[in-house]
Amino acid sequence: MEETKVHNKQHHSYSIYILVWLALVALTGLTAAVAGINFGKLSIVVALLIAVVKSYLVLTQFMHLNSEERTFKVFIFVALFFILISLTLLFTDYSFYVR
């Protein structure tokens, strides 16, 4: 016997997509504005924090991650965890780079 799972499709109105898009545009402008300001060593951290917020908005709203099953969310979390480890190792290595 074949099991089929029915996905609960949540239909959002267009207004949420427009609001998220406007937030992404605003965050992109903020990224460009922050790039012109010298934060010293915090410049990369600020840019990455803005990128994390933008990624969260895209994943939850446009990719509908908030309505997916738990298994899929775990796969996304594991992938993001390994990206975080890679970036940590990259910046650790970069901090010991002698100029």
**Average pLDDT, consecutive stretches of 10 residues, N- to C-terminus, the chain (99 residues):** 55 84 95 88 86 90 81 85 89 70
Domain identity same for 74 and 43: no
Q: d(Cα 83, Cα 77) in Å, to the nearest integer?
A: 10
pLDDT at 87: 84
pLDDT at 4: 55
Query: Looking at this protein, which amino acid is placed at residue 20?
Result: V
pLDDT at 22: 96
Q: d(Cα 31, Cα 18) in Å, to the nearest integer?
A: 20
In a domain, 37, yes or no: yes
CB 75 within 8 A of CB 63: no
In a domain, 59, yes or no: no
78 is in which domain, residue-wise? 68-99
In a domain, 5, yes or no: no
DSSP state of 13: P
What's the number of domains the chain is made of?
A: 2
pLDDT at 8: 56
What is the pTM for the complete model shown? 0.65
Domain identity same for 18 and 50: yes
Domain identity same for 50 and 76: no
Q: Which residue's structure tokens are 């410049």?
A: 43
